[in-house]
A and B are shown apart, each in its own frame.
Chain A
Amino acid sequence: MRIFGLSFKVIKTLLTTQYAYMLEYRIEIALWALSGVLPFIMFSLWSQNDVGNSFGLNDIGLARYFLSAFLVRQFSVVWVVFSFEEDSISGRLSPYLLQPLHPLFRYVASHLAEQATRLPFAIAIAITFFILNPSSFWLPSLPQFFLAYLSTHFAFTIAFLLQSLVAALCFWTEKSSALERLIFVPYLFLSGLLVPLSAFPSNVLKVAMITPFPYLINFPAKILSGMPVDIFDGFLAQIMWISILVPSVNILWKLGVKRYTAMGA
């Protein structure tokens, strides 16, 4: 059986090795998980006044949305541009380029392994949230959970491809993490991490919806929290962005590798 051209054995070995590696850093990962509490800060901010009502959400709806946003963020966070830049500048990329495995698969494996390591911490944080806000407790139905799970993985794929596109610019600029800021700012505002997109004026919302950002947090979080959402349109948009980004990353990577000078190696 092959997935994306990789044998099951390669996938299994990469994932188990990366998971073992991540377990070496479990304390750091717990801290990273804790550092992702921005949605809770936003929740406490919006729930202190009536602004939340203008989003069309009561306190319970708001709590569920931001907890869902937190969980989606935990399993779609991406840092490939930083790892890639470091590997590229230090020369660690060189041996990876000379192996019959696309280097990006190693980064995918390390992200997935990190998600698995984050899982218990994310569950613990969710339980704590329910203890502090018992009225907001809910359990999504099985189909709801499955769709949220799928859309979160698609969100991760889009975020990973977007950052890989920026990472490939390392072949030109050497400091492409600076360019990542260009993605991070619109991501912060348009993904739904700070506020549900329903709070945006309709013309801003129209512009936001033609970018990939609402499909990174807002869409999966809405499914998970049980808010009304157009599931078909959402998945269609996610698949469309993946279809655009995969060849784009591929082309930019091929062009970039020709410029690689194996600095520091």
Chain B
Amino acid sequence: MIVVDQLSKYYRVANKQPGFKGTLKHFFDRKTYDIPAVTDISFKISPGEVVGFLGANGAGKTTLLKMMCGLIHPSTGLVDVSGYSPQRRQTAFLKEITLVMGQKQQLIWDLPPMDSLYVNAAVYGLSDHEAKVRINELAEMLELGEELTRPVRKLSLGQRMKSEILAALLHKPSVLFLDEPTLGLDVNAQARVRSFLSEYNKRTGATILLTSHYMADITALCPRVICIHKGKLFYDGDLDSLANSLSPSREVKVELKNPCASEQFEKYGVIQDLNDRFVCLLVSRDKLTDVVSNLLTDFDIIDLEISDPPIDQLIGELFIKGEVN
């Protein structure tokens, strides 16, 4: 169980004005002040949950993650992870958790990942046999083979990320903190990392806390999302409810046999796009059945597709609304 109670973090920063005068002033009379990165956030996460943290750049989600894993100390408030106070970094706690950062690496650059894996195995007190079994198991799940005996610098970004994940999970942590684990990976590599994390969660029942800029990561893995905006909790709940509350409409994409004028579609819903024989309408959920039935009767239709508007578009709108409010 993870309990976060009225958690806040302030960073001390100093601003510098541009130019030589600004440089001198910054050198002799540096003014510092505190900026809030996270303000008064509270939530609970049950064991085995997969929770996605959403927010724009600088919203405070990574700071929140760093406080929960014990990397940085909170300014005020409490964090409790599996009965431990993370910032104390007790050995028993450190053996329970792991942190994967998409843009950072712990593997030794000039050596094969296997060397770093054996260092981690020794540090976490695994026997040689345990380490071997665990490496084989995870390597199979991550589709890693001889890459583990090739110098890290010779690996592709995707292979490196998978090796990083392997190193981070070698000690069987029960709580995973993942900060942008698919950053910079191509679509296929992203999908493989996602399916691995999903499989890992199913097999081990580990709690996974994830930040990502890729909505596909969140929609594929996280039934629950926590939205952070300007350091404050904006939404905490399941992703479907968020999508429904943000968009009570669905997208209806129609391919017509012959082009039609836009006026002909106005009575069915909001026209999102009209291009020759292709129309995209936004239709409220309660009228959806009637609208689809009428469209099929009134027009010569080749193809019809109903979908939710893209979640990233909805979330983007949510943050813009938050900004305006």
CA distance A94 to B66 in the complex (A): 9
CA distance A261 to B13 in the complex (A): 12
The answer to the question of B133 belonging to the interface, with a C-beta cut-off of 8 Å to chain A, is: no
The answer to the question of B64 belonging to the interface, with a C-beta cut-off of 8 Å to chain A, is: no
A98 contacts B123, CB within 8 Å?
no
B104 contacts A21, CB within 8 Å?
no
Q: Which A residues are in CB contact (< 8 Å) with B119?
A: 13-14, 17
Interface string of A227-265 (1 = CB under 8 A from B): 000000000000000000000000000000011111011
A260 contacts B91, CB within 8 Å?
no
B66 contacts A262, CB within 8 Å?
yes
**B72 touches which one: A101, A262, A264 (CB < 8 A)?**
A262
The answer to the question of A201 belonging to the interface, with a C-beta cut-off of 8 Å to chain B, is: no
Interface string of B111-133 (1 = CB under 8 A from A): 10001101111111100000000
* B95 to chain A: closest residue by CB: A100
Q: Which B residues are in CB contact (< 8 Å) with A262?
A: 66, 71-72
A10 contacts B98, CB within 8 Å?
no
B108 contacts A13, CB within 8 Å?
no
A94 contacts B98, CB within 8 Å?
no
The answer to the question of B161 belonging to the interface, with a C-beta cut-off of 8 Å to chain A, is: no
B104 contacts A91, CB within 8 Å?
yes
Q: Which B residues are in CB contact (< 8 Å) with A260?
A: 71-73
The answer to the question of A92 belonging to the interface, with a C-beta cut-off of 8 Å to chain B, is: yes
Q: Known A21-B111, A262-B66; judge A100-B104 contact (CB<8 A).
A: no
CA distance A95 to B116 in the complex (A): 13
B108 contacts A261, CB within 8 Å?
no
A17 contacts B98, CB within 8 Å?
no
The answer to the question of B69 belonging to the interface, with a C-beta cut-off of 8 Å to chain A, is: yes
Q: Known A9-B122, A13-B122; judge A95-B89 contact (CB<8 A).
A: no
* A7 smallest CB distance to B (angstroms): 8
A265 contacts B106, CB within 8 Å?
no
* B87 smallest CB distance to A (angstroms): 8
* A258 smallest CB distance to B (angstroms): 5
Interface string of A1-23 (1 = CB under 8 A from B): 00000010110111001001100
**A10 touches which one: B94, B101, B110, B122 (CB < 8 A)?**
B122
Q: Which A residues are in CB contact (< 8 Å) with B118?
A: 13, 17
Interface string of B41-66 (1 = CB under 8 A from A): 00000000000000000000000001
B interface, CB within 8 angstroms of A? 11, 66, 69-73, 87, 89, 91, 94-95, 97-99, 101, 104-106, 108, 110-111, 115-116, 118-125, 168
Q: A12-B122, A13-B121, A17-B119 are in contact. List 15 more A-B contacts (CB 8 A).
A: A13-B118, A13-B119, A17-B108, A17-B118, A21-B110, A21-B111, A91-B101, A92-B106, A94-B71, A98-B69, A98-B97, A98-B99, A259-B73, A260-B71, A261-B11
